[in-house]
Amino acid sequence: MSETRTRVITAFIVAPFVVACFVSYKSLIGLVSAVVLLASYELLSMSTSSDKNKYLIHVGVILNVAFVVLYGFSKAENGLLYLSLMFIASAIFLVIFVEEIPQVWNAVLGTILSLIYVAGCLSFFFPIYLKFGWANALLTLTAVWLYDTGAYFVGIKFGKTKISKKFSPNKSLEGIIGGFLSCLAFSIVYKAFFEWLFDAQVMPYASLPIFSAVVSVFDTFGDIFESALKRYFNKKDSGVVLPGHGGMLDRIDGLLFVTPVTYILLTYGIL
Amino acid sequence: MSETRTRVITAFIVAPFVVACFVSYKSLIGLVSAVVLLASYELLSMSTSSDKNKYLIHVGVILNVAFVVLYGFSKAENGLLYLSLMFIASAIFLVIFVEEIPQVWNAVLGTILSLIYVAGCLSFFFPIYLKFGWANALLTLTAVWLYDTGAYFVGIKFGKTKISKKFSPNKSLEGIIGGFLSCLAFSIVYKAFFEWLFDAQVMPYASLPIFSAVVSVFDTFGDIFESALKRYFNKKDSGVVLPGHGGMLDRIDGLLFVTPVTYILLTYGIL
């Protein structure tokens, strides 16, 4: 089976479950917790090299998931506070239990990176959901999927102008344009359909091109940043959890940058 | 001049300026920004080893101070959002401008560590000031000073039982007890005096022993954590900005853990 075919089949199996989690705020907390569990495990496995300290991966993952649950159930308030407390907890745990100093540094840094990059950034689905409604939250997720899909297929077929030889040699300008257009087309259909079917509130039509541009730019940077991290650790994929898609972190790397930026633009009335 | 004498003189010169900054919220933002500027510079100088990439230190410092200013002026709201945006900005800056991949990793990690450890943790003075009044904010700072002073002098005179041979061989149980007692005595005098003089609101007397215990425990861990980082980087002091005290980071390491913990205990009515 070709990788593309595996990728499409996986997407069609997993996507409905993910979308269904947007039906309630509590199921969304469950979804984000599960994704952060897998992605932070992958990230911490990359950054914690020594076999002797494998248990530090689990401590870091627990702190990441604890952050998501606390932040989610406190209605997306006090995010910085919970993040700081998880960081302090990891620092105290490590100075008590870890013997070698380089391990303290690597393990704390891996945990911090994961807290802010994976758990923190993905948790912006909570305030989007609570303040701007489930329809805008689901649009943020699905628009990124459509962007990725458009960029992938257009990139394979027409990709010529490489944009990041250093970190991500497969990215092309043509792919980004294809991603932008499929994201925009999808957003328009999404808005028309969901407002008609559910009376849901989606950002105005005039905002959709800006939103699609934001998705294109920040998804691309998110992807390149994760590629840079993987190259540093000499990994091709962050994991194997999603056949044809690589690991969970590979799948959400763009989303991690898109979500906080979408939230701030919604907050300031730009979208 | 002995180190102790230099230390005392520096303290008596600097302390009045620092205390005066608590007179208004805006001057507090100025104080926290200045401290974060110096401390994040020291931390980033430790973590960025290569001379070629010295400018990355400045980028990281700018992002740290920008976080403090944004968070302060938005009335201690949206902390997680600003932290995430600074992280995304640093990641994008680095994938665009930095050539070598290990540099991306070190520079982003140094910036993230500083954002959460220095800028994030110290910024909890803002919500303490806004929600629980200037008197509780100033108490958090000065109680840590008195704890440090008590622990230092009692430790020098009576210190026998070492608590962290690994990371911080000078710490003793006797010092911690001395610190706790001087912190508690000071807090009682502070509350009595400030409530009489300014009609200020300070946490109840019954909370002061708990508060002093929190200061003792988290100040000690904060100090040990910073020692662990410095040992990893083979530095004795984080800098030379305060004669007799080492660097700014050495001076505030305990405070960085005490401040968020004090805020959450105040928020949940435990203090």
| Closest residue in A to B111 (Cα–Cα) | A113
* C-beta atoms surrounding B162 within 10 Å: 12
Q: What is the pLDDT of residue B30?
A: 97
Q: What is the pLDDT of residue B55?
A: 83
Residue B185 has pLDDT above 90, yes or no: yes
Nearest-CA distance B263 → chain A (Å)? 9
Q: Which residues contact A30 (CB under 8 A, 6 or more apart)?
A: A21
Q: Which residues contact B42 (CB under 8 A, 6 or more apart)?
A: B238, B239, B241, B247, B248, B249
Contact A232 B80 (CB under 8 A): no
Nearest-CA distance A92 → chain B (Å)? 6
Rounded distance between C-alpha atoms, residue B180 and residue A155, angstroms:
64
Kindly give the confidence (pLDDT) of every residue in chain A, 271 residues in length, as a single tens digit, with 9 standing for 90 and above. 577 788 888 888 889 999 999 999 999 999 999 999 999 999 998 887 666 678 888 999 999 999 999 999 999 999 999 999 999 999 888 888 776 667 667 777 889 999 999 999 999 999 999 999 999 999 999 999 999 999 999 998 998 888 877 777 778 899 999 999 999 999 999 999 999 999 889 999 999 999 999 999 999 999 988 988 887 777 766 676 777 777 899 899 999 999 999 999 999 999 8
Contact B113 A115 (CB under 8 A): no
Q: What is the pLDDT of residues A219-254, one digit of tens each?
A: 999 998 898 888 777 776 667 677 777 789 989 999
Nearest-CA distance B93 → chain A (Å)? 10
Alpha helices in A124-206 (DSSP H): 125-158, 173-198
Q: Which residues contact A105 (CB under 8 A, 6 or more apart)?
A: B228, B229, B232
- B116 contacts on A by Cβ (under 8 Å): 83-84, 87, 112, 115-116
Q: Which of B95, B257, B267 has its CB closest to that of A88?
A: B257
Q: How far is CA B192 from each of CA B24, B61, B186, rounded to the nearest angstrom?
A: 22, 39, 10
Q: What is the pLDDT of residue A107?
A: 74
Q: How far is CA B100 from each of CA A77, B52, B96, B119, B263, rounded to the nearest angstrom?
A: 38, 11, 11, 27, 40
Task: Report angle CA A17, A19, A21 to the nearest 5 degrees.
Answer: 75
- Residue A66 burial by CB count (10 A; 0-12/13-18/19+): exposed, middle or buried? middle
Q: What is the pLDDT of residues B139-157, one digit of tens each?
A: 999 999 999 999 999 998 9
Q: What is the pLDDT of residues A186-205, one digit of tens each?
A: 999 999 999 999 988 999 99
ipTM associated with this complex: 0.91
Contact B260 A112 (CB under 8 A): no
Residue B17 has pLDDT above 70, yes or no: yes
Q: What is the pLDDT of residues B46-96, one digit of tens each?
A: 887 666 677 888 999 999 999 999 999 999 999 999 999 999 999 888 888
- A121 contacts on B by Cβ (under 8 Å): 84, 87-88
Tokens of A226: 């994760």
**Which has more pLDDT, B208 or A52?**
B208
Picking from B88, B112, B115, B234 by the largest number of A CB atoms within 10 A of its own CB, the best residue to mutate is B88
Which letter, b or e, does each residue of A203-236 get, where b requires 16 or more Cβ atoms within 10 Å of its Cβ?
beeebbeebbebbbbbbbbbbbbbbbbbbbeebe
Picking from B92, B95, B130, B214 by the largest number of A CB atoms within 10 A of its own CB, the best residue to mutate is B95
Q: What is the pLDDT of residue A229?
A: 84
Return the C-alpha torsion angle B160, B164, B170, B173, nearest 10.
-40
Q: What is the pLDDT of residue A246?
A: 74
Q: Which of B80, B113, B221 has its CB closest to that of A95?
A: B221
Nearest-CA distance A142 → chain B (Å)? 21
Of the candidate ranges B26-30, B240-244, B261-265, the one whose mean pLDDT is the lowest = B240-244
Rounded distance between C-alpha atoms, residue B41 and residue B39, angstroms:
5
Residue B1 has pLDDT above 60, yes or no: no
Contact A167 B121 (CB under 8 A): no
